[in-house]
Structure 1
Amino acid sequence: MGRRIGGAGGGSDKGGGAGTFLLAALLAIAVGSGGTSALGIGSAGGGTSASSGARGQPNVSSRQSQAAEARIVARGVQVRARATDDSTNCAAHAYGQVKEYLLEHPCVGMHRASFELRDGRGDVVLVAVSWVDMGDESTAREFHRLVDGSGTGNITELSRERGRYRSVRFTGDIYESRREETVVSNAQAQPVGRGATGLALTSIVTNALR
């Protein structure tokens, strides 16, 4: 899966065009909170935080997707639908080498969200986000490197398991990731239409992220 890493940006669905609204929405989700780098690079420094499993509670929950939605709405983008899911069996909801890694190194917990975004012109874009809590920072770093790799698979997008957009496949062209201690998150955006509008959206946002 190809990766496109973006910088900071902003925008609105009013007057900015579909590409601007999509870029703002994606970055709002992926880099909205402080902590480690937004460019797919883990936090610097040594040491390992206490295992989430030892505490018995994952560091991921619906608070992540609620905060992500709030950041999107604050930028004037319409969120028409949101679906979420929690699991402690990450491998069951993954594919490719990512699935194999999670079978050997089970996660502590996972939270996924799927957002249906719509701009003022009616263009629809799906945004898939996952937050995976690994047992310690060492496995989190390894998992982060793997999920960022080309052709290595990913956490299964929630929209592919439920709802009306199961046939929509994410290309990975519009992608962001981050790691904060034991939690690795990544966000992908995909235009729903494959006609002229969808292709234009993809082209605009890919160029913007570069």
Structure 2
Amino acid sequence: MPAPDQPIRFHQHPLSGHCHRVALFLNLLDLPYDTVEVDLLKGEQKTEPFLALNPFAQVPVIEDGSVVLPDSNAILVYLAKRYDTEGWLPEAPEAAARVQRWLSVAAGQLVNGPAIARVSNVFGRKVDLDQCAAIANRLFTLMESELTGREWLAGDRPTLADVALYSYTAHAPEGGISLEPYPNIRAWLGRIEALPGFIPMPRTAVGLQAAVSG
């Protein structure tokens, strides 16, 4: 597998699921990287040095030599195209499209459902929790069905689809969204967690209480 000439600089916040999916993939690919933590609560993402990296004032961002790239899904695609030799992003048109379908879900329903519910509980942001729960449960019902009789979301091996959906699904209980009704999803999470190179996303106090509470 090719390696970067120097460690990738990874600008992130440890409690961001968008950042975790990038950290997870970096570790699954066994790529060297240096972490630069961005203090979101102090507004560091809105300072001029960070805005020079991402004018949208969002983490994550990577710097890989002369390449500066924001957006978690874009970063996943870049890393797969640049460094992967195992098929995390298939070349065949139909297989690639199946992965892209789930990347769109990760940027849509996953954010609007479990991710925003988690932001409310963990960071105290006011949102419509009932709407978030409805979106999350529709999504998880679909994922539960898709995972019936199969191990991975988009093929017969793990792909970027699984990486992109993992973090906010695994931490949905931090937003008050139970995973108990979804045994296929819970088994899928376990398979991802068993992959060589897997790293967990830190749980918040809310997340630890949710885990204790089942």
Bucket of the pairwise TM-score, normalised by the shorter protein: under 0.3
Q: Greater relative contact order: 1 or 2 (C-alpha under 8 angstroms, separation 6 or more)?
A: 1
TM-score w.r.t. the length of structure 1 is 0.27
Structure number having the greater strand percentage: 1
Structure number having the greater helix percentage: 2
TM-score w.r.t. the length of structure 2 is 0.26
